Amino acid sequence: LQFTEEKLGQAEKTELDAHFENLLARADCTKNWTEKILRQTEVLLQPNPSARVEEFLYEKLDRKVPSRVTNGELLAQYMTEAANDFGPGTPYGK
């Protein structure tokens, strides 16, 4: 209710201290990275059947598979970016 009234201009905006706003920003960042890593982990554990068929066909036709980032490499990239974003002193950064 307070948030709605603030948005409609019927109430003054609640002032939050800098520490709390920092915590909110970190929580949002943690949520976003966790969701990204979780989605990529699901993709890694349940691979796309059409991609596997494509790899099989390239192998049978003795052709070179086009180079693209694998699901494992993409997950590692997300984890590295999250670690860099949070810093070395956090669980993500270790």
Nearest CA-CA partner of 74 in 23, 36, 48, 46: 36
Chain segment 7-46, per-residue pLDDT in tens: 666 666 667 788 988 898 999 999 999 999 999 999 999 8
Contact by Cβ (8 Å): 41, 75: yes
pLDDT tens for each residue of 45-82: 987 888 778 888 888 888 877 788 888 999 999 999 99
> Closest Cα to residue 37, out of 80, 70, 75?
75
pTM of the predicted model, to two decimals? 0.67
pLDDT at residue 86 tops 80: yes
